[in-house]
Every structure is written in structure tokens, then in C-alpha cells.
Amino acid sequence: MEEDFRVIRSDRRTIGLEVDRTGRVVVRAPRFARDRDIERFVEAHRDWIRKQQEKARAQAARAGELKKLTWEELEALADRALKVVPERVRHYAPLVGVTYGRVTIRNQKTKWGSCSRQGNLNFNCLLMLAPPEVLDSVVVHELCHRLEMNHSERFYREVYRVFPAYDRWNRWLKENGGTLMLRMPE
């Protein structure tokens, strides 16, 4: 295959692909995965990879046209997120039926949210630039990881139970999130 890729092995159970903002392919694989299985997986997803690389090139072209946030603007977003996000987490946690630990706001360049095994939740301050429903969809997604630390059918059943419009706002984030990330100061 003509695309080069980097393999990151971990305790995960499945092989996953990502294409970063520069168009580089990253394969996340279980520690025990054989190289030829990884290569077959990458080859089977060649069309998806090329499509994502085209998107990355288009986003890079738009990046030159975008106004980057200043560090002061980023700090103001983080301050606003510190008020808004914990309130949304408090709202949705009982609906999901879970407890949680700390809620932290970060200035991340690749993730919108995460949930640790200890129940600590992290959210990207750039979510404040998205419609409120996008924030809610990310909050529900991360809270549902308190029930399932994976992206299984059971996990998504819980997400849709609590937030039926999840697909719409997740699609918005997939289509527009890269542009928001490009506004991050250097």
C-alpha cells in the first residue's frame, strides 16, 4: 500500500485507524496483533483513508484562511467552559444513571472529551464554539463510558436512550470540528 502508517500498540482489543490533521495514518492495535493482520486491515480501509486524507488537505488549506484564537480568547473559552460544562454533566449524569469524578477543561488539539476508568471527565474548551447540542452530545457520550468503556452496541444504545439526536450533533462535530481545532493558537 502506498500510504505509510504508524502503529501504536496497546491493551485495546480491536484495530482502529485515524488520520491526523497532517494526513498521516495512525493504526492503533492490540499488542498481540500480527503485522500482516494490521496491513490487511489498512488495505481493506484504503478508500476511507484516502477520503480522510483529502479532508485533512482541505482543512489545511482552510487553516490559512482561519483566524486563530489568541491565548486570551482561549482562556476566556476555558473560563466559560468551567461554568457551563460541569452544569451539563450534573444534568445528564442522573439521566445516564452514573456517578463521576473530576470534571476538567482542557485545551486539546485532537480530542473533544475523554473518560478515565476512575470516572474523571475531560472536555475540550473549544466545545464552547459549537452549538450547545454538540456539547450535550459529547457530555452524554463521555458519561456513557461510565457504563461501557468501549464503543459497543450496548454503549451506543445508552447514548441514544439519553440523547436521541446524538447522530445529528455528532455529524456536526465530525464535519465542523476540524475547523474549530484549527483555531487553536500555535
Domain layout of the chain by residue ranges: 5-63, 71-181
Q: Which residue type does 166 have? A: Y
Give me the pLDDT at residue 182, please. 84
Give me the pLDDT at residue 46, please. 94
Unique residue bearing C-alpha cell 444513571: 97
Q: Which fold has domain 71-181?
A: Zincin-like (3.30.2010)
- Rg of the chain taking only CA atoms, in angstroms: 18
Give me the pLDDT at residue 179, please. 85
End-to-end Cα distance, the chain: 33
pLDDT in tens, 83-124: 999 999 999 999 999 999 999 999 888 899 999 999 999 999
Separation of CA 122 from chain center: 11
Nearest-5° angle of CA 159, CA 160, CA 163?
85
Share of the chain above pLDDT 70, in %: 95
How far is the C-alpha of 30 from the C-alpha of 7, rounded, in Å? 10
How far is the C-alpha of 163 from the C-alpha of 172, rounded, in Å? 15
Unique residue bearing C-alpha cell 456539547: 135
CB 166 within 8 A of CB 151: no
Give me the pLDDT at residue 2, please. 41
Give me the pLDDT at residue 102, please. 97
Residues with pLDDT less than 50, the chain: 1-2
Give me the pLDDT at residue 1, please. 38
Closest CA to 49 of 29, 25, 15: 25
Listed in order, strand segments (DSSP E) in 49-172 are 103-106, 113-115, 121-124
Q: Give backbone dihedrals phi and psi of 47, rounded to 5 degrees, phi first.
A: -65, -40
